[in-house]
């Protein structure tokens, strides 16, 4: 962090804490320069940064003042989806979205890609390159069905961070979290079965259910505490539900972390109704809090939680290294892994195992948590600035996704089409529902720093939404 960034952060914190009140005059540039032993221009840069963030305002010939507090937009309310099992549609829309991610001319706010440009990933490439040159036979040969033991051992090790106590034998490596969830679903469910999901629910998960002819029942979900246990219980009493898919840590798209008490409550509900929990922890490592939040799996005593995760968000998507802790379904999961994909790429597994073993993984993770937190604050600030004031915005407790709820009358599907002509791609909320909800919502990816290009795109987005409101 440069000096001016450090100073800007310090001042922002003081404003946040109320040490400088709203409307109050800030110390002069000269005073601050002497107080912190930094140059005049450093202080000026720091003030400029805060001004850009609209935390302070310059008054000509009088100095800098703390800006009047702009009310933080409220968090969206608990969702209230239609609570009956439905078949999922919208494959064409998702397919188009996926294709757009790779259109280099578009700014892809709709993608789920993490930032893979950080220097903390360098040891990973070096390891990959070393492996290919020095161990070609292992790299080119077949892998074991459960995945490489060295990697499974490292996975078991990092899972301790979430108080999830497993050994290498409990872990089955997959080609990513998507594969992991697919295998878990195929191991437990048959076509026609019903699975409960949070609402809104990640479109990839929904399209997977569609692919396997599994019906989804959408359960009301609170953007701050997660799935409604009461609504889930009601649904379990009414329908023959096989399991529930949950993203309890840094939920996609809502960003919440379920409080521990609620995690335990949902598990004991699953026990009472003898259903399975498919726990998607793909974003769990990117939680802001330290130590990272616990998994539901960490309380699982009868093996009914199938924990699915991957290094897609915490390291890089191109690795395609994920895993399942399948509990009591280990044999079925191995069989379905064999049926769907046989084994996984050894090179990537070996590289990730070394990356963790040598301490690079935790270093990288610490850095990414900071970066994402910083970027999320920047982006949220800009959304507040550019979007109309009657919106709700989530307050994610980790990862890099923002969910924005616009007034009912805004049809984001239409707005998204208009934005596409401006070379801006967003994920309209409707993709996150099987029953046509959330047409007035959108999810945006805040993984990358807010450069001029992104900022201008965000401004245009706000403008398009404002026009739709007129």
Interface with its own copies (CB under 8 A): 91, 94-95, 98-99, 101-102, 111, 113, 116-117, 121, 125, 128-129, 132-133, 136-145, 175-176, 178-179, 182, 186, 190-191, 204, 207-208, 210-213, 316-320, 334-336, 338-348
Give me the least distance between CB of 340 and its own copies, in Å please. 5
Give me the least distance between CB of 151 and its own copies, in Å please. 14
Give me the least distance between CB of 157 and its own copies, in Å please. 22
Nearer CB in complex with its own copies: 5/89: 89
Nearer CB in complex with its own copies: 31/95: 95
Give me the least distance between CB of 356 and its own copies, in Å please. 16
Nearer CB in complex with its own copies: 88/250: 88
Q: Exposed, middle or buried by CB within 10 Å (0-12, 13-18, 19+), for 117?
A: exposed
**Strand 63-66 versus strand 56-59 pairing type:** antiparallel
Alpha carbon of 129 to those of 124, 319, 347, 359: distances in Å? 9, 14, 10, 18
Give me the least distance between CB of 272 and its own copies, in Å please. 29
Q: HSE-up of 261 (CA within 13 Å, CB side)?
A: 1
CA distance 221 to 81: 9
Nearer CB in complex with its own copies: 50/121: 121
Nearer CB in complex with its own copies: 142/290: 142
CA distance 37 to 35: 6
- In terms of phi and psi (left: phi > 0; alpha: psi -120 to 50; beta: otherwise), the region of 392 is beta
Give me the least distance between CB of 192 and its own copies, in Å please. 9
CA distance 396 to 287: 9
Q: Exposed, middle or buried by CB within 10 Å (0-12, 13-18, 19+), for 97?
A: buried
Give me the least distance between CB of 38 and its own copies, in Å please. 35
Sequence-distant (≥ 6) Cβ neighbours of residue 172 within 8 angstroms = 146, 147, 183, 323, 324, 325, 326, 330, 333, 334, 337
Nearer CB in complex with its own copies: 20/329: 329
Nearer CB in complex with its own copies: 33/445: 445
**Strand 392-393 versus strand 401-405 pairing type:** antiparallel
Q: At what angle do helices 229-238 and 260-272 cross, to 10 degrees?
A: 10
Nearer CB in complex with its own copies: 60/318: 318
Give me the least distance between CB of 424 and its own copies, in Å please. 19
Alpha carbon of 268 to those of 224, 256, 277, 400, 456: distances in Å? 21, 21, 11, 30, 48
């Amino acid at each position: 962090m440069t000096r001016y960034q450090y100073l800007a952060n310090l001042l922002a914190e003081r404003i946040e804490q109320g040490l400088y009140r709203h409307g109050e005059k800030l110390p002069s540039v000269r005073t601050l320069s002497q107080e912190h032993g930094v140059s005049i221009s450093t202080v000026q840069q720091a003030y400029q940064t805060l001004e850009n963030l609209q935390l302070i305002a310059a008054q000509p010939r009088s100095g800098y003042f703390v800006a009047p507090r702009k009310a933080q937009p409220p968090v969206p309310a608990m969702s209230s989806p239609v609570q009956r099992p439905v078949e999922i549609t919208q494959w064409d829309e998702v397919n188009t979205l996926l294709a757009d991610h790779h259109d280099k001319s578009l700014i892809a706010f709709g993608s789920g890609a993490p930032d893979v440009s950080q220097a903390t990933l360098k040891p990973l490439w070096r390891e990959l390159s070393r492996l290919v040159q020095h161990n070609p036979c292992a790299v080119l040969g077949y892998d074991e069905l459960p995945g490489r033991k060295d990697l499974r051992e490292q996975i078991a090790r990092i899972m301790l961070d979430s108080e999830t106590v497993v050994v290498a034998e409990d872990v089955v490596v997959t080609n990513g979290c998507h594969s992991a969830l697919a295998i878990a679903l195929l191991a437990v469910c048959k076509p026609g079965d019903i699975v409960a999901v949070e609402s809104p629910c990640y479109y990839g998960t929904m399209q997977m259910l569609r692919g396997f002819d599994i019906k989804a029942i959408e359960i009301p979900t609170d953007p701050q505490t997660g799935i409604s246990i009461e609504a889930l219980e009601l649904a379990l009493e009414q329908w023959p539900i096989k399991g529930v898919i949950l993203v309890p840590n840094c939920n996609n798209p809502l960003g919440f972390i379920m409080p521990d008490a609620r995690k335990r409550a949902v598990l004991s509900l699953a026990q009472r109704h003898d259903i399975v929990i498919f726990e998607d922890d793909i974003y769990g490592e990117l939680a802001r809090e330290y130590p990272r939040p616990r998994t539901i799996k960490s309380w699982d005593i009868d093996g009914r939680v199938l924990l699915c995760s991957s290094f897609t968000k915490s390291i890089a998507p191109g690795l395609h290294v994920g895993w399942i802790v399948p509990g009591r379904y280990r044999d079925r999961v191995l069989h379905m892994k064999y049926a769907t994909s046989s084994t996984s790429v050894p090179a990537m597994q070996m590289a990730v195992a070394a990356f963790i073993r040598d301490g690079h993984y935790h270093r990288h993770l610490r850095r990414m948590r900071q970066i994402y937190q910083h970027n999320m604050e920047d982006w949220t600030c800009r959304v507040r600035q550019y979007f109309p004031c009657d919106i709700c915005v989530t307050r994610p407790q980790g990862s890099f996704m923002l969910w924005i709820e616009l007034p009912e009358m805004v049809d984001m599907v239409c707005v998204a089409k208009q934005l596409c002509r401006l070379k801006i791609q967003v994920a309209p909320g409707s993709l996150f529902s099987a029953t046509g909800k959330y047409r007035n919502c959108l999810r945006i990816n805040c993984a990358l720093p807010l450069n001029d290009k992104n900022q201008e795109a965000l401004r245009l987005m706000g403008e398009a939404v404002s026009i739709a409101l007129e």
